[in-house]
Amino acid sequence: MANVVVVGAQWGDEGKGKIVDWLSIEADVVVRFQGGHNAGHTLVIDGKVFKLSLLPSGIVRPGKLSVIGNGVVVDPHHLVKEIAEIRSKGVSVTRDNLRVAENAPLILSVHRQLDALRENSSEGTKIGTTQRGIGPAYEDKVGRRAIRVMDLADLSVLGDKIARLLGHHNAIRRGLGLEEISSKAIYDELASIADQVLPFMDSTWRLLEDYRRSGKRILFEGAQGALLDIDHGTYPYVTSSNTVAANAATGSGLGPGAIGYVLGIAKAYTTRVGGGPFPTELHDATGQLIGERGHEFGTVTGRARRCGWFDAVLVRQTVRTSGINGIALTKLDILDGFPEIKVCVAYRLDGEILDYLPASQAAQARVEPIYETMAGWNGTTQGARSWADLPAQAIKYVRWIEELIGAPVALLSTSPERGDTILVHNPFQD
Spell out where 274-365 has E strands: 306-308, 310-311, 326-330, 340-349, 352-354
pLDDT by residue, tens only, the chain of 430 residues: 589 999 999 999 898 888 888 898 899 999 999 999 977 777 777 777 888 899 998 898 899 999 999 999 999 999 999 999 999 999 999 999 999 999 999 999 999 999 888 877 656 666 667 788 999 999 999 999 999 999 999 999 899 999 999 999 999 999 988 899 999 999 999 999 999 999 999 999 999 999 999 999 999 999 899 999 999 999 999 999 999 999 999 999 999 999 999 999 999 999 998 889 999 999 999 999 999 999 898 666 677 899 999 999 999 999 999 999 999 999 999 999 999 999 999 999 999 999 999 999 999 999 999 999 999 999 899 999 999 999 999 999 999 999 999 999 999 999 888 788 999 999 998 7
Please say whether the beta carbons of 323 and 262 come within 8 A.
yes
Please report the pLDDT score of residue 130 as a whole number.
73
For residue 237, give the DSSP letter.
Answer: S
Q: Show which residues are catalytic.
A: 13, 41
Could you tell me if residue 224 is left (phi over 0), alpha (psi between -120 and 50 degrees) or otherwise beta?
left
Please say whether the beta carbons of 258 and 249 come within 8 A.
yes
Question: Using CA atoms, how far apart are residues 417 and 279, in angstroms rounded to an integer?
Answer: 30
Contacts of 35 (CB under 8 A, 6+ apart): 72, 73, 134, 222, 223, 224, 239, 241, 243
Give rounded-to-5 percent helix, strand, coil for the chain.
35, 20, 40
Q: What is the overall mean pLDDT for the chain?
A: 93
pLDDT tens column, 122-145: 566 666 677 889 999 999 999 999
Burial class (CB in 10 A: 0-12, 13-18, 19+), 345: middle
Spell out where 48-207 has E strands: 48-52, 65-68, 98-101, 201-202
Which SS3 state, helix, strand or coil, does residue 116 take?
A: helix
pLDDT tens column, 365-409: 999 999 999 999 998 999 999 999 999 999 999 999 999 999 999
Please report the pLDDT score of residue 18 as a whole number.
83
Question: Shortest CA distance to 306 belongs to which of 290, 322, 326, 323?
Answer: 290
Which alpha helices (DSSP H) does 143-300 contain, by range?
158-175, 183-191, 194-197, 204-213, 247-250, 285-293
Neighbours of 319 (CB within 10 A): 22
Please say whether the beta carbons of 15 and 411 come within 8 A.
no
**Is 0.85 topped by the overall pTM?**
yes
Which SS3 state, helix, strand or coil, does residue 405 take?
A: helix
User: ∠ CA(95), CA(200), CA(81), 5° rounding?
Assistant: 100
Question: Using CA atoms, how far apart are residues 389 and 18, in angstroms rounded to an integer?
Answer: 21
Please say whether the beta carbons of 248 and 33 come within 8 A.
yes
